[in-house]
Structure 1
Amino acid sequence: MSVLEVRNVWKSYGKLIANEDVSMDVKEGEIVALLGPNGAGKTTLVKQVYGEITPDRGEIRVLGKKPGDRHVKKLLGVIPQECEPYGDLSVWDNIYYMGKLKGVEKDSIKAKGEELLRELGLTGKRDTLARELSGGLKRKTLIAMALINDPKLLILDEPTTGLDAEGRREVWKILLDMKKQGRSMLLTTHYLDEAERLADRIFFLNKRVIDQGTPAQMKEKFADWYEVIDYTNGKVYKVKGEEELKKVVLGLRGKFEVRMPSLEEVYLEVIKSE
């Protein structure tokens, strides 16, 4: 079952085309990543998904309804790209008032809010003003705010931008834990390792959808070579074809590693072909 369906969506700003005939979907319980360079139209597309702007042409359905539907808005969790919790409010107050805005009952906010504080490691920061938090803790607070209404679809636009390596991995763990709970997510990112680690499916976007598939499918489709690293002498070999790979490996002595191209290398090849 698809929780999100985007069909032949076009969006322009004057003469600038941001989205060109884009079609994609998110199925229940999966993470889908939109991957593309700056200016590829990723943020424009997600803004149409959560109803901030409307397509010029095409159709978007969230849980079977239009994004602007009041019922749908209550079932979404959104973390925009340039967003922070309200600095003059505590962590708890940010979560509580977001729940009120989403129409969640007071008792449910209290129960769900306390649960989110525990799950996200924010209990000790409950009464801390948001402006005093680190970048990672601000992101965790935004995630709690987005989850307070128990959304059917979570939309994250560049969720780890500005975080250090430790903060990024903390957010990754949270998102993967939420996936295990059956949550559906649409995220945009320009971090190739992030998409490879988190996404069930990836859409390469550069105004239009260039290609899509699982990380493994994208590698298999575009990678026609292997990289062999010989740790004995430090040499690196690029080998085409499995027969040639067998010959090289049989000729090695000592420790070695064989790997396929990374998603980043695949992505660069795809973009280059554009």
Structure 2
Amino acid sequence: MNETLEILVEVNHVWKSYGKIIANEDVTLNIRKGEIVGLLGPNGAGKTTLVKQIYGELHPSQGEIKVLGGKPTDGKIKRMMGVVPQEVTPYGELSVYDNLYFMAKIKGVDKPTAIKNVEDVIEKLNLKDRRKTFARDLSGGLRRRLLIGMALVNSPKLLILDEPTTGLDPEARREVWFLLKSLRDSGIGVLLTTHYLDEAERLSDRIYFVNRKVIAQGTPMEIKRKFSLYYEVTDITSGKVYYVKEDEVKDFVSKLEGKFEVRLPSLEEIYLKVMGNDS
């Protein structure tokens, strides 16, 4: 990752609590121009709470968040963001075109620019054949594509997606992946929350494991290298699985009888191990 890329989001020592319940604990992270940052964590880990603070729906209890050089609650800053929250749907009684156009107007885009941006988004997202189709008649994958388009009609510098592929079939998920990669390549910064480890590994330039606080961070390869100090040793005779430090593997397996297997953990296994240790 090029450290000289423009930083779009700075989250510095952010805490968010509701009474005695702590949702975010001293979280620090950043997002740069032209990269996809993945947030991974179990249900209730505070991912959505953190994301809502980044796009200005919630305020931190402590700490500071800067988005595009300003406060995320600033209207001018909001107009430079595109957001697809969880469980949001397009307006079913409106066509694809009208959903895009009215979202552009809601975001304060003037009429000539809104018309141009809508046409650009329809072209970019390959929705030309669906421009007059009511949103209620779209497939799940096309509705998700339309939602991303609605987040893009104001030409944002930052795109925030909270669980964008939940409930999609494998083909529709891969269509979203291709779209997000193309947006990243065009210079947009993308913040992505997901439960899918394969999605995070394929898409993310950097990953944060979050469970209230940041448990681990880095590129997918950096995370693998860091946690590959632990090897997975499977005793095939008994079926037991052990996680053994790198410098202890030889001694450990010498004490095993019968057949065994030694391998590095996958990103998914690293995630499960890290989160299991934190719980």
TM-score by length of 2: 0.86
Q: Distance in 1 between matches of 2:231 and 2:166?
A: 31
Report the AA paired with residue 100 of structure 1.
K
- Deviation (angstroms), 1:23: 0.8
Query: Deviations for 1:145-187, whole angstroms, at most 9, x for unmatched residues?
Result: 1000110110000010110111110000000011111110111
Residue equivalent to 1:147: 152
Are 2:10 and 1:5 aligned? yes
Aligned CA-pair RMSD: 2.4
Q: Distance in 2 between matches of 1:260 and 1:166?
A: 29
Are 2:272 and 1:262 aligned? no
Q: Distance in 1 between matches of 2:208 and 2:245?
A: 26
- Deviation (angstroms), 1:227: 8.0
Q: Of residues 228, 247, 255 in structure 2, which corresponds to 1:223?
A: 228
Residue equivalent to 1:102: 107
Residue equivalent to 1:70: 75
The runs of 4+ residues in structure 1 deviating greater than 4 Å are 225-228, 238-242
Query: Deviations for 1:175-229, whole angstroms, at most 9, x for unmatched residues?
Result: 001111111011111110111011111011000011110000000100236789x
Residue equivalent to 1:124: 129
Q: Distance in 1 between matches of 2:266 and 2:177?
A: 19
Q: Distance in 2 between matches of 1:148 and 1:38?
A: 31
Residue equivalent to 2:197: 192
Q: Distance in 2 between matches of 1:259 and 1:154?
A: 37
Q: Of residues 82, 89, 92 in structure 2, which corresponds to 1:84?
A: 89
Q: Distance in 1 between matches of 2:202 and 2:265?
A: 15
Q: Distance in 2 between matches of 1:55 and 1:149?
A: 26
Residue equivalent to 2:217: 212
Residue equivalent to 1:233: none
Task: Say if 1:181 and 1:37 are closer, same or farther in 2 by CA, change over 3 A.
Answer: same
Q: Distance in 2 between matches of 1:127 and 1:21?
A: 47
| 1:185 aligned counterpart, secondary structure | strand
Residue equivalent to 2:166: 161
- Deviation (angstroms), 1:64: 1.1
Are 2:8 and 1:19 aligned? no
Residue equivalent to 2:48: 43
Q: Percent identity among equivalent residues?
A: 60
Q: Distance in 2 between matches of 1:205 and 1:60?
A: 17
Residue equivalent to 2:33: 28
- Deviation (angstroms), 1:72: 0.1
Q: Distance in 2 between matches of 1:32 and 1:193?
A: 14
Report the AA paired with residue 172 of structure 1.
W
Report the AA paired with residue 271 of structure 2.
Y
Residue equivalent to 1:135: 140
TM-score by length of 1: 0.87
Report the AA paired with residue 170 of structure 1.
E
Q: Distance in 1 between matches of 2:11 and 2:107?
A: 24
Q: Which runs of 5+ in 1 are unaligned?
A: 229-237, 246-257
Report the AA paired with residue 197 of structure 2.
L
| 1:186 aligned counterpart, secondary structure | strand
Query: Deviations for 1:86-112, whole angstroms, at most 9, x for unmatched residues?
Result: 111111100000100111121222222
Q: Distance in 1 between matches of 2:196 and 2:90?
A: 23
Q: Distance in 2 between matches of 1:259 and 1:182?
A: 37
